[in-house]
Structure formats: structure tokens, C-alpha cells
Amino acid sequence: MSGLRPGTTAVAGLGLIGGSVALALERAGFGPVYGIDPDEQTRLKAEQAGIKVHAGPGPFLAGCQLLVLACPPAEADSVLREVAGQLPPRAVVTDVYSVKASTSGLVPPADIYYVPSHPMAGTERSGFAAASPDLFAGRPWAITAHPDTPPLAVAAVADLVAAVGARPVFVAPDVHDRIVAYTSHLPYLVALALAATVAEAAENTPGLTQLIGPGFLDTTRLAASPPSLGCEFFRYNQSLLLEAADDFLQEFARWIARFGPGDTGQNAFETAIPPAAEAVRAFRLSLPGTTAREGGRWKAGQ
């Protein structure tokens, strides 16, 4: 297997991520791309978008060299067991799950190669209606292969990542889970807490909702994500997420203490905020894909 070939890819689960994978592959010319989803309305929308769809596994899998698990993580094991016997020998299975500990129990047959992965992309929306072939453009996509995985199997997933416009990042599963606890799961939790704080304040502050601008909406966008996503973070990555949350609370407390009673008032702000803001700006500009700030919004590099 030297790479993806037309008609060799199936995506199990056509929500935001799986649907976007299927659309991106189809646009890249790796079709026909097969989509598997039990929901009739989802299949109808995907079919209208040019995806060949099926309600479940079938003979079409015999020609698939790559299967992407994009169903809910709790269903991954049963889906894998259902489809594994219909895939050809040496087929490659990957997934899109945000916590690699959630896939530690997935054991495909000996003649199937499993290469876990995770695209660092998404929106607060869900379902195939929110899917876009541009979702992964320029985004990092973690590949967390076991060291014993055949290089050709890893290369097949890297081919997939490149085909959808993302850039592969090779990382160990445990390192991945620690990183995303800070960069993905903690931001969700903070956005949720901030949104809840303001919503509670709105109950006792007439007119509050009339003075909400893009700063609040941008900062709390993640809080509008499907609750199942947050449950997934806690179910599979709870200890690392709580560790990251504790670090955040300590840092937040240090900031509050700087401006509490007994401090020098305005001078404390002038001393602390500018260098911190400049450090944050420099950090953000150092991130891959972030090249400029225009009109108050950070722009991803193309």
C-alpha cells in the first residue's frame, strides 16, 4: 500500500468531522468515498453532497484500504468489530477522537493495522450540515501510532491528512492527551464557566445582554459546542483535564491577587498587564499557522 487510491476510503460516522473528511477527500479526487451512517437524514444530506452512503457495513468494504472511525467514541469498539471482518487484509483503520486513551481498548484483527489520530479542527456546530471540506485546511492533525506499527500504515494516514489539507504531527498517545488537556479541553471548560458566570449575572443585571460584543462571543464560542463533546473530555481525560484546570486556577488567582486590596491600584495594572499582553501576543504569533492580527482578530496562515 503506497498511498490512498480512488475508491479505497470509508468513513464511519458522518457528523461534523467525519462528514468533513469525506467531503475533503471527495474534493481531492480520492473518490468514490464511502460514508457509513445509521441516520437516514444524514445519509440523504451526504448523498446530495456527492458521497456514496450506506446505513452499515457491506460488501463495498472489501475494496477499502482505509477506514476512518468518526462515530461517537463509545460506539467505536462495536463498529470496529462489525466492519473488521469485511475489510481486506492489511487495511488501515484510523480515528478522529480527541482523547487517545479512549481508543486504548480498540483491538482490530491481527491483519488490520490501527493508527490512531486526531484532527485539531472543529466548530461549535455539529452534524453533516455543519461539515466543510475546508475544515482541516492548515490545521495540525496528530498521528499517535504505536512504535511497532508498519511504516506504510502510518504513511497511509499521513496521506489522508495531507489530502484533506492538514499537516501531520507525530506524537505519542500519552503526550497527546496531556497536550490537548491544556490546548483543547481546558479552553472548553473555561468558556463554559465564563458563559455560565455571565448568564447568571444577566438574571440580576437588566440590560446586560444588550451590551454583549464580539469579545464575549468569541471567548465563549466553545461553550456552544455539543454537550457530548465536553462529556467526552471528562470521561476519557479527566485526570489530565483537572490537572490543567488546577494550573489555570492558580494562575488566575495570582492575577487577582496582584490587583486586590493593598496593591497600588492603577500602577499595578500598568506594571503587570502590558508585559503579559506582549508575551501572549508573541506566544500566539509563534504558533504554527498564526501569522497576523488584523482588525482585532487573529488570522490563520494559509
- Contact status, residue 41 vs residue 17, Cβ threshold 8 Å: no
Residue with cell 446505513: 55
Give 169-209 pLDDT, tens digit per residue.
999 999 999 999 999 999 999 999 999 999 999 999 999 99
CA 108 remoteness from chain centre: 23
Tell me if the pTM is above 0.85: yes
Single-letter code of the amino acid located at 180: V
pLDDT number for residue 267:
67
Q: pLDDT under 70 in the chain at which residues?
A: 1-7, 31, 260-267, 289-302
Give 278-295 pLDDT, tens digit per residue.
888 898 888 886 654 433
pLDDT number for residue 293:
42
- The β-bridge relationship of strands 33-36 and 9-12 is parallel
Domains and CATH numbers, the chain: 9-171 (3.40.50.720), 172-258 (1.10.3660.10), 261-302 (no CATH)
List the grid coordinates of 208: 446586560
Closest CA to 160 of 197, 116, 204, 220: 116
The C-alpha atoms of residue 115 and residue 209 are separated, in whole angstroms, by 46
pLDDT number for residue 217:
94
Residues 6+ apart with CB under 8 A from 200: none
pLDDT number for residue 299:
41
List the grid coordinates of 24: 475533503
Largest CA distance in the chain: 74
- Phi/psi of residue 54, nearest 5 degrees: -140, 150
pLDDT number for residue 294:
38
Q: Where are the alpha helices (DSSP H) in 125-226?
A: 151-163, 173-180, 186-203, 214-219
- Grouping H, G, I as helix, E, B as strand and the rest as coil, residue 291 is strand
The C-alpha atoms of residue 3 and residue 88 are separated, in whole angstroms, by 15
Closest CA to 236 of 149, 174, 146, 192: 174
Closest CA to 65 of 145, 157, 142: 157
Provide the strand spans (E) within the chain.
9-12, 33-36, 52-54, 66-69, 92-95, 113-115, 117-119, 140-143, 167-170, 290-294, 297-300
pLDDT number for residue 220:
94
- Contact status, residue 177 vs residue 191, Cβ threshold 8 Å: no
pLDDT number for residue 238:
95
